[in-house]
Structure 1
Amino acid sequence: MSTSHPIEGPDPIRDLSDVPSIEVISRAAVMLMSAAAEKLGLADPDPAESDRLDLDEARRLITALAGLITASVEYLGVHAAPLRDGLQALQKAFREASVVPDEPGQGPGEKYTGPVY
């Protein structure tokens, strides 16, 4: 005999149709930010020496993040500014980590955000 009970705990499972779009967008953005930070080695004391440093992967993640934020900015409301700030910080960290920095406007996500200095 099977009974259906909602899962309880600190992070209960929710039906995706019950999750507001802004939450889905924000969570996706935070996941992209976190993954990009890891690929930039920012979780380690010395990012330049990090075993996780992978600029190719970081470029892809930052570009995806820039596209998501740019495409959804009108829906983000009060979340837009902190997400843009986080994106810009990652773009700057990428530029600093690059041995040969991209030309202004050619860095990750800059085709969506414009040049980041």
Structure 2
Amino acid sequence: MDTADGLGATDSTRRLKIMQDSVAGTFGVMDAVVVLGLKTIALSEITSYRWLVLMIAAEWGRSGQVAAITFYHYLKPTGKGVFHKQSIKLPQDLFLGLGSLLTLSGLLILFDVHRW
């Protein structure tokens, strides 16, 4: 929502100040409504193996955050992301989540009673 509020600002010098503000603006609320609506539609369209799709989406989102923290630079030298950037170990952190996802989903597919 902060990103949508910042992108809605026409003045580039105020953009970071708007994004730091904790109050949701008009563009942020519109963005939240659209994103939640799209997520609801997408979940209602999944007919089989919904649990597997949700696990993959959660892992993809988490891995995306780890990769973004690692590979992108920050606008400010101090902030919440600096702590995380210093503690991330690549590629172990990415492979740990991916390995756990593959193991768990493989076991759930293997022991699926309806497939037997």
Same fold (TM over 0.5): no
TM-score by length of 1: 0.34
The structure having more radius of gyration, on CA atoms, is: 2
